[in-house]
Structure 1
Amino acid sequence: MRKLVLFIATSLDGYIATKDESLDWLFKVDGEGDNGYSEFYETVDTILMGRKTYDWIIQQGIGEFPYKDKECYVFSRSPIEDNENVSFINENITSFTQELIKQGGKNIWIVGGGELLHSFLKEKMVDEMIVTIAPTIIGNGIPLFKEGKLKLDLKLKGTRTYNQFVELHYEVKK
């Protein structure tokens, strides 16, 4: 069965971006190759992201959409017309994703964090979390996990280092 997986980098103090959505702090850290990205990317065929993350990617002006070879769904509260790279979903996140999980295929990647991740965590839908820690403290910003009464038990599957980065791979106990 397909798994719903988070693969993300965070500062040591738990932020995925600064308040102004900058990742400059992340790119200042010496890594090793692509820090395991390509290897992980081959394990997924479907990508889920929220509208804020999608808009951020587009605003970066990086040219080609980075996930064009995968099925990509963007959850949005307002109806938007699909484009060649993504399908915009304006329906229940949980129901839609449960149907995707039932379909055959590789794993499903939750890109970004914030609202979408919190929705999946509340529903106990996330199967694995691969969190890469950057050796930097940014003091404030956009947290990886929203504050709240959420409680999850995890099982460590493994650790890896990529020069200055440390990857923690967890299975979510259900």
Structure 2
Amino acid sequence: MTESRKVVLFIATSLDGYIATKEESLEWLFKVEGEGDNGTSEFFDTIDTVLMGKTTYDWIMEHEGDNSWLYSDKNFYVFTRSSIADTEQVKFISPNIPDFVNKLKKQEGKNIWMVGGGELLYSFLKENAVDELIITIAPTLIGSGIPLFKKGDYHLELLLKGTRKFNQFVELHYEVKR
């Protein structure tokens, strides 16, 4: 029997727990001295599917543009409440999260990257639909902004799988206890 695919959160956060400033800026993240790509390429090799919220998708499109599509070799789904036509690279969906994730996990393939942002992550945490969390912490205090973990009605117990250091960044890798 093949091992089930996992939904993995792979994200960077400030030391005080924010994924972006209140203006949705990530400039603080790029000022930190890392090491290579901080493990991103290695992680990309473990996934073939990307799940993202519409706000995060819009930010990428505004800042990266159509010409530098990063995930062209991945199955790419954007969760939205709006009715939007799919593109060649992106499927826009608004499904029931547990049903959709269970269907994806039963398919052959690599792991599934739950990119974020905060709203989508909150929905996934409430549904206990995340299997692993790989959180890279930047040595930066923002003070306010978009939190990695919204306050809410969820509880997950985690098991530390490992830590790594990428110059000034520290990566924490957790598995959700089932």
- TM-score clears 0.5: yes
Of 50, 61, 66, which aligns to 2:64?
A: 61
> Does 1:40 pair with 2:43?
yes
2:53 is aligned with 1:50? yes
CA distance in 2, matches of 1:10, 1:33: 18
Give 1:78's match in structure 2, choosing from 74, 82, 94.
Answer: 82
Contact 2:55 2:117 in 1 (8 A): no
Aligned match for 2:169, one of 150, 165, 170: 165
Q: How does 1:80-95 map to 2 (within 5 A)?
A: 80-95=84-99
Of 136, 139, 143, the residue aligned with 2:143 is 139
Check if 1:18 corresponds to 2:21. yes
- TM-score, normalised to structure 2, is 0.95
Structure 2: gaps of 5 or more residues:
none
Q: 2-side partners of 1:106 and 1:16: how far apart?
A: 26
Structure 1 moving runs of 4+ over 4 Å: none
Q: 1: CA distance between counterparts of 2:97 and 2:153?
A: 20
Q: What CA distance in whole angstroms lies between the structure 2 residues aligned with 1:148 and 1:94?
A: 18
Question: For 1:116-155, what aligned pairs fall within 5 Å after superposition?
Answer: 116-155=120-159
SS of 2:55's partner is: helix
Deviations 1:62-106 (A, max 9, x none): 432111110000011011100011001122222112111111100
User: What SS does the aligned partner of 1:60 have?
Assistant: helix
Amino acid at match of 2:23: D
Q: C-alpha displacement at 1:134, in angstroms?
A: 0.1
Secondary structure of the structure 1 residue equivalent to 2:130: coil
Contact 1:113/1:145, CA 8 A, preserved across alignment? no
How many corresponding residue pairs? 174
2: CA distance, partners of 1:125 / 1:119: 9
- Is 1:17–1:143's contact at 8 Å kept on the other side of the alignment? yes
> 1:65 is aligned with what amino acid?
W
Take 2:20 and 2:48, find their aligned partners in 1: how far apart are those partners? 25
Aligned CA RMSD, in angstroms, stands at 0.9
* Inter-partner Cα distance in structure 2 for 1:149 and 1:120: 12
Return 5+ residue gaps in structure 1 as ranges: none
Q: Which moved more, 1:84-93 or 1:26-35?
A: 84-93
Q: TM-score, normalised by structure 1?
A: 0.97
